[in-house]
Amino acid sequence: MRVLVTGSRGYLGRSIVGQLVEAGHEVVPFAGDVRTADIPSSDGVIHLAALARVRESFEDPLSYYDVNVTGTLRLLKSGAPRFVFASTAGVYGTPRGHVLTEEHPRVPTNPYAATKAAAEDALAWTARTGALSAATLRLFNLAGGGDRDETRVVTRACAVAAGRLPSMEVYGDGSAVRDFVHVADAARAFVLALEHRAPGHEAYNVGATPASVADVLAAVHRVTGVPVTADHRPAHPGETREMRADTTKLRALGWRPVESDLDSLVGSQWAAEGPHRTA
């Protein structure tokens, strides 16, 4: 299959490209701005490219709608018969329920998540016409495998253990639970969703290992032998105490996480620190 991948040079994109090639697909990396660049023909699209900073989205919501929604619409018009879209668990907002199924109401609380929800809708309505087979993957917390985004919990904790950052900010008592998934396991979900030809549109949660910030810090200490210095700060008002992904639908396609237990996540990130670590 000839597969167009936007965001192919990013953290998740690199892993997806590697797995597509391994599976025998021809990868067409998308070059340029999704709003303006020519879109090559393909048998399927995996759309990852997006503006993705929550705080920044409050400051410039129009740019987020322009890139994340307009860019998706242009790709949908390319005519590819298969389309897999990278969305976010942020579309659920701050839910009261702990375990989230794909049927949970979407109540985005920031412009970034709102643009993802809008793009999801465009994809679903287009698929409803019979024009394509489509899947939305709602990513929870990606981790491991050499992540460079130090706003993410596992990545930042490893950077502190390596001595590149002075401390780890912990809001509240560190007991808030989030759902983590190794980037390679998430990539497998995208390839599986692409290869699973089904009419219409389906959304799938992508998560694997619920853990608190305190659990992550303990795992980093356990794996690296280095205690992580924590800078405790007041909890964010209205913070959701737990967000766990129900992945029943994704598992029904045959997906199983194989690298997403907490120590493996931390170990793969720590290994990527390599000779740069000072601890």
- Rounded CA separation 269/168 (Å): 16
Q: What is the pLDDT of residue 97?
A: 66
Q: What is the pLDDT of residue 188?
A: 98
pLDDT per position as a tens digit, 123-151: 999 999 999 999 999 999 999 999 999 99
Confidence at 197, pLDDT banded by 50, 70, 90: confident
Confidence at 241, pLDDT banded by 50, 70, 90: confident
Q: Count the Cβ atoms, other than its own, within 10 Å of residue 59.
A: 10
Give CATH superfamily name and number for 2-143+180-207.
Answer: NAD(P)-binding Rossmann-like Domain (3.40.50.720)
- Rounded CA separation 193/87 (Å): 13
Residue 279 has pLDDT above 70, yes or no: no
Ordered by start, the domain boundaries in the chain are: 2-143+180-207, 153-175+210-244+258-276
Look at 3-17, 123-137, 145-159, 224-238 and tell me which has the smallest mean pLDDT.
Answer: 224-238
Percent of the chain with pLDDT over 70: 97
Confidence at 275, pLDDT banded by 50, 70, 90: low
pTM of the full predicted structure?
A: 0.95
Burial, 9: exposed, middle or buried (Cβ in 10 Å; 0-12, 13-18, 19+)?
middle
Q: What is the pLDDT averaged over residues 186-196?
A: 98
CATH of the structural domain 153-175+210-244+258-276, one choice from 3.90.25.10, 3.30.2010.10, 3.40.1440.60, 3.30.390.10: 3.90.25.10
Residue 232 has pLDDT above 90, yes or no: no
- Rounded CA separation 142/260 (Å): 10
Confidence at 235, pLDDT banded by 50, 70, 90: confident
pLDDT per position as a tens digit, 58-91: 999 999 999 999 999 999 999 999 999 999 999 9
- Rounded CA separation 244/14 (Å): 26
Q: Annotated active-site positions, please?
A: 112
